[in-house]
Amino acid sequence: KCHAFDKGSRRPNAMQSSISAMCFLREALPEDYRDSSFAYRQDELDIDVKLSRLCEQDKVVRTQEHKLQQLYREKVFRAPPQSVHICEHTLETALLSASQEIEMSAGDQLALQSSLERSWREYDRLEADVTLIRNNLLEQLEALGAPQEERSVPPRPPLPQYYDIIELPPAVPPLPGSVQQAVGHTLPSRPEDRKHGQRNGSHSVSHI
């Protein structure tokens, strides 16, 4: 009977280590790190809730195991075999429920990972399409931009040319030879010649 009870109450090593590891990781992480450092999605929140539920069930199972061992040590010779079988059945039911929860959580996690990978592939494809369209538009704008600017800007009028009256005036084309000689005889070219002509004119008038 002792061997049969130990065999029924013994937990699977793989399941026990898996549940204990998940509970340890959940309790070891700081609350701020779990709540504020990551933006969980809805599926990840569901997984977190399921893990919390599994940890609580694991604690309940451990408590039941401890109580069952105490009852076995105290009343193993007085308790009827039927009560022992009932406790064993309750423990096996709890372990089976916990293993099913773990399997469902693992399946949900794989589905979430696959969906996330598909989303990233779709995002990369859309980003490549947007980049290609943007480059094509830039090339078209560059091809149409330069001629349009040349046609839209009117030609700038020439700037007026200013010169100082003290300096020499701008060069003019020379006059014909006969006209230049006539102008040279009629008009003095320098102020001194003008003064000299005025003096000669005054002398000629006084002489008359």
Domain contains 122? no
Residue 198 included in any domain: no
Q: Could you give the CA distance from residue 167 to residue 171 in angstroms, rounded to a whole number?
A: 12
18 located within any domain: yes
Total structural domains in the chain? 1
Q: Is residue 69 part of a domain?
A: yes
**CA-CA distance, 143 to 107, in Å (whole number)?**
55
Residue found under tokens 């006059």: 175
80-127: per-residue pLDDT in tens?
Answer: 555 556 667 777 788 888 777 777 777 677 777 888 888 888 888 899
Residues 6+ positions from 90 with CB-CB distance below 8 Å: 64
Residue range(s) defining the domain that contains residue 15? 2-116
Is residue 184, in this structure, part of any structural domain at all?
A: no
Q: Which of 106, 82, 95, 92 is nearest to 22 (CA)?
A: 106
* Mean pLDDT for the chain overall: 66
Q: Report pLDDT digits (tens) over 29-79.
A: 555 445 544 555 556 667 777 788 888 888 888 888 888 887 777 765 555
Q: How far apart are CA 51 and CA 58, in angstroms?
A: 10
What does the pLDDT look like over 137-191, one tens digit per residue? 998 888 886 555 555 666 776 666 665 556 555 566 665 665 555 555 555 455 5
